[in-house]
Amino acid sequence: MQRILVANGPNLNLLGTRQTEVYGHTTLQTIEDLCRTHGETLGQTVTHMQSNHEGALIDAIHAARGTQDGIVLNAGAFTHTSVALMDAISSAEVPVVEVHLSNIHAREAFRHKSYIARVAIGQICGFGAQSYVLALEALAAHLAEGHTG
Ligand code: DQA
């Protein structure tokens, strides 16, 4: 089984009620259930964490080293600001797929820049909850090819 951590950053705990015109009505709980069940079909054991705190996300990435085979990361607004998260990913040697519910490239200019993209194996955005499913698929294929880190 591939061990996958799905990590969500600030404000994503509010999904379902937060800016529904941008992020839709799907709750984080529904996304977590979707990832768990879809991951099972891919031979993945999916665990979840969400935090509104940059340090907690960094700690989770550090803890993934040697204990997870891949990370699906929606860093929320920290995507656009956090050199610290970028450095944590560089140090963890665990492949990361960056995800976003919205198409960040079609939104405000400040959302076009991603520090995560520099160190992720790829980025999936704009597909709502399906972005997470596509990220699990991408990690399954990446890991099946024998890639690590
Ligand atoms: C987001 C996009 C970010 O720009 C924003 O700050 C979020 C959510 C997304 O999933 O579309 O919090 O990561």
Pocket test for ligand 1, best of 21, 97, 100, 123 (most atoms within 8 A of CB): 100
pTM for the model:
0.97
Give the Å distances, CA to CA, from 88 to 48, 50, 61: 18, 16, 7
- Give the helix, strand, coil percentages of the chain, each rounded to 5: 45, 20, 35
Residue 35 has which token pair? 């990832």
Catalytic residue among 25, 48, 62, 100: 100
Query: What's at 46, amino acid-wise?
Result: V
Position 81 scores a pLDDT of 98
pLDDT at residue 44 greater than cutoff 90: yes
Position 149 scores a pLDDT of 65
pLDDT at residue 59 greater than cutoff 80: yes
pLDDT band for position 147 (cuts 50, 70, 90): confident
3-class secondary-structure state, position 67:
coil
Ligand 1 nearest-atom number relative to CA 12: 12
pLDDT at residue 137 greater than cutoff 80: yes
Q: Once rounded to an integer, what is the mean pLDDT over residues 115-132? A: 98
Q: Once rounded to an integer, what is the mean pLDDT over residues 28-56? A: 98
Position 148 scores a pLDDT of 73
Q: Once rounded to an integer, what is the mean pLDDT over residues 96-118? A: 98
Q: Is 137 exposed, middle or buried (0-12, 13-18, 19+ CB in 10 A)?
A: middle
Q: Please give the share of the chain, as a percent, with pLDDT higher than 90.
A: 97
Position 32 scores a pLDDT of 98
pLDDT at residue 107 greater than cutoff 80: yes
Q: Once rounded to an integer, what is the mean pLDDT over residues 74-96? A: 98
pLDDT at residue 115 greater than cutoff 90: yes
Q: Is 111 in the pocket of ligand 1 (CB under 6 A)?
A: yes
* Residue spans of beta strands (DSSP E) within the chain: 2-8, 44-50, 70-74, 96-100, 122-125
